Amino acid sequence: MNFNYKIILKTISFILLFEGVAMIPSWLAAFKYHETEVMWPLILLSLVSISFGIFFFKKLRDYNRKLTSREGFIIALLSWIIVSMLGSIPYLISIEGYSLADCFFESVAGWTTTSSYVIPSCSMTKSLMLWKATTNWLGGMGILVLTISIFPALGVGGKNIVSSELTGPELTKMSARISDTAKIAYEIYLIMTLIELILLNLGDMGFFEALLNTLSTVSTSGIFDTRGEIILNFSPYTKTVITLFSILASINFKVYFLMYIGQFSRAFKDIEVKSYLLILLICSLICGGALWYSGTYTNIFNALGAATVQVVSFGSTSGFSVSNISTWPTICQAVLIFLMIMGGCSLSTSGSLKAIRVMISFKLIVRGIYKRIHPRAIKPVLLGGNPVKASTATAVTVYIMLFFTMYAGGILLLSLENKDMTTTLTAALSAISNNGSGLGEISDGNYGVFSDFGKIISAILMLLGRLELYAVAVLFSRSFWKPDQVR
């Protein structure tokens, strides 16, 4: 088991530095809102973190070695765990009556952009609220980092799936290195954030509330209802803005790249985005129709509106709710659960399987029927006119199977909490798909119904989903621990 410990330490030091800096807005808010009991501890924590970070970073600064893929996985996994652990300290500092597991859960939910909670935001200090929102926002950015830079280097996900047009010549025209692509992604992310912030401020929200909600919706993490729920009790204008930006954050960022380099017509032709939006539309119509037909909403426009917002929320894996969806007609619940499994587009801040994988598996099924009829035919799977490579199709298949296998493990462990089946099944699904809300006892996203054990299992599932499964799956492979032994 020989890993390059120095590189790992160097990464950790960077995390300490980074997270310490991330805490600065929070203690500034504590200062502004006169929350003195928490301000000093936060400042202390922040400074300690930054100092340790700088210290170790400086010591290892000259240590630069290429990473193997194994080390890459370890680093990805460790980073998120350490970030979450460190990130739980502000919660411990600021609030009484919550256990270590609670704070860890809250931190993980923040960083993985899942909207579930155990600490209601109404009992948080303003600085803590800002910390949660900050972790949401940075978590969203972290996802972009993972999918654009890290996973392709490790040979997983993102790049292999997205049709190759962009990751070839165009990219090199735009930017010489992958890290530059990431920078462009952050710029886009930042611009989106600023625009939403401005728009929300124009509504009836105060600045602080608008800031919190912007940070969490642009990262598809949910909303900040300072009443402590995740139910959307905002004005129609605000709801519209939030819904719009949830969609924008959950479509494939490739579209934004294409627009950035001026290729607007190709941007609008992206097959994943088109299918994703179409699916959202169809689901909204079905749900809206059912809501109106069943009398849950008497006005057809209200019904469609509520349906659309809810559908977008689940499709983008944001996880906020317009009302208690447990009272909605079963067809709506079924549609929403399907959306939870599908998730948003690849290369966005959403989670779950991702639209492109669902599309590819659908095409594989259709081809499967065709091949039964004509066993000797050669029929490639086409996506938007481009053939999908066999290795990609295999990768998608493996991913989906792995997803459900890990989900199965999750529900088995969570079942020890002895909640009813619906709660258990949707709680695990919601966690692994980074959505946040479900049905049954967790329809409002409150995982406080579970014991510490259940919260930790859910937190692990959230991390699993965010890391796109492999980072944990490889831990189960013997060749990971003993690479010299060929198996």
Q: What does the binding site for other proteins look like in residue numbers (CB under 8 A)?
A: 69-70, 154-156, 294, 329-331, 333-335, 337-338, 361-362, 364-365, 367-374, 394-395, 397-402, 405, 408, 411-412, 415-422, 424-425, 439, 470, 473-474, 476-477, 479-480, 483, 486-487
Q: How far is the CB of 81 from other proteins (least distance, A)?
A: 20
For 233, other C-beta atoms within 10 Å of its C-beta total 12
Measured CA to CA, the distance from residue 227 to residue 117 in angstroms comes to: 13
Q: Which is nearer to other proteins, 251 or 406 (CB)?
A: 406
Beta bridge partners of 446: 117
Q: Which is nearer to other proteins, 262 or 368 (CB)?
A: 368
Dihedral of the alpha carbons of 186, 191, 194, 200, in degrees to the nearest 10: -110
Q: How far is the CB of 478 from other proteins (least distance, A)?
A: 9
Q: Which is nearer to other proteins, 211 or 406 (CB)?
A: 406
Q: How far is the CB of 229 from other proteins (least distance, A)?
A: 22
- 208: burial class by Cβ within 10 Å (0-12, 13-18, 19+)? middle
Q: How far is the CB of 436 from other proteins (least distance, A)?
A: 18
CB 469 within 8 A of CB 399: yes
Q: Dig out the tokens for 258 from the structure.
A: 């294409």
Q: Which is nearer to other proteins, 173 or 487 (CB)?
A: 487
Which residues 6+ apart lie within 8 Å of 454 measured at CB?
414, 416, 417, 427, 447
DSSP class per residue in 356-391: HHHHHHHHHHHHHHHHHHSTT-----EETTEEPPHH
Q: How far is the CB of 419 from other proteins (least distance, A)?
A: 6
Beta bridge partners of 321: 231
Q: State how far the alpha carbon of 214 is from the alpha carbons of 117, 119, 188, 223, 313, in Å.
A: 18, 20, 14, 8, 14
Q: Which is nearer to other proteins, 159 or 419 (CB)?
A: 419
Q: How far is the CB of 313 from other proteins (least distance, A)?
A: 18
Measured CA to CA, the distance from residue 310 to residue 302 in angstroms comes to: 12
The residue written with tokens 């993102």 in the block is 158
Q: Dig out the tokens for 310 from the structure.
A: 């809810």
For 54, other C-beta atoms within 10 Å of its C-beta total 15
Q: How far is the CB of 306 from other proteins (least distance, A)?
A: 18
Q: How far is the CB of 341 from other proteins (least distance, A)?
A: 8
Q: How far is the CB of 339 from other proteins (least distance, A)?
A: 11
Q: Dig out the tokens for 343 from the structure.
A: 């998730």
Q: How far is the CB of 355 from other proteins (least distance, A)?
A: 15
Q: Which is nearer to other proteins, 62 or 486 (CB)?
A: 486
Which residues 6+ apart lie within 8 Å of 448 measured at CB?
102, 117, 118
Q: Which is nearer to other proteins, 6 or 371 (CB)?
A: 371
CB 35 within 8 A of CB 127: yes
Q: Which is nearer to other proteins, 173 or 486 (CB)?
A: 486
Length of the chain: 487
Q: Which is nearer to other proteins, 92 or 339 (CB)?
A: 339
Q: Which is nearer to other proteins, 70 or 132 (CB)?
A: 70
